[in-house]
Amino acid sequence: MGGAMQPQGHAQIVINLIDFNMNLQEAGDAPRFRHVGSSQPTGEVMTDGGFLIFENGFNIDQLKKLEKIGHEIKNKNDDEYMKGAFGGYQAIMKKNEVLIGASESRKDGHASGY
């Protein structure tokens, strides 16, 4: 993951691992969301609150609740923000002296370690 998605994606992976008790592969494969339009360290300042993009797999009723309280939500197929919008994920963790690797299906790649 890179750019503005990097901290968002990393947080979602850690939340999936710790709060939702997913394994390394599940944590990377789970649907992600992204906030677009935030203030940036480059000096770009958010003026309208930005919008959210959700991959398929989120509960539609929950997305409607977010819209009802004022969040703008776009479908993942809406526009140019979708090309690589949710990052890529490969990971290796060591558990009980065993290396466990994971690589998601959104992009090419693999996890390898020794």
Helices (H), 1-114: 5-18, 24-29, 60-68
Domains and CATH numbers, the chain: 5-88 (3.60.20.40)
Q: How confident is the model at residue 81 (pLDDT cuts 50, 70, 90)?
A: low
* CB distance 48 to 35 below 8 Å: no
Q: How confident is the model at residue 88 (pLDDT cuts 50, 70, 90)?
A: confident
- Strand 73-75 vs strand 51-54: parallel, antiparallel, or unpaired? parallel
CA torsion sign for 29, 110, 5, 56 is: negative
Report pTM: 0.79
Residue range 17-41, pLDDT digits in tens: 999 999 999 999 999 998 887 666 6
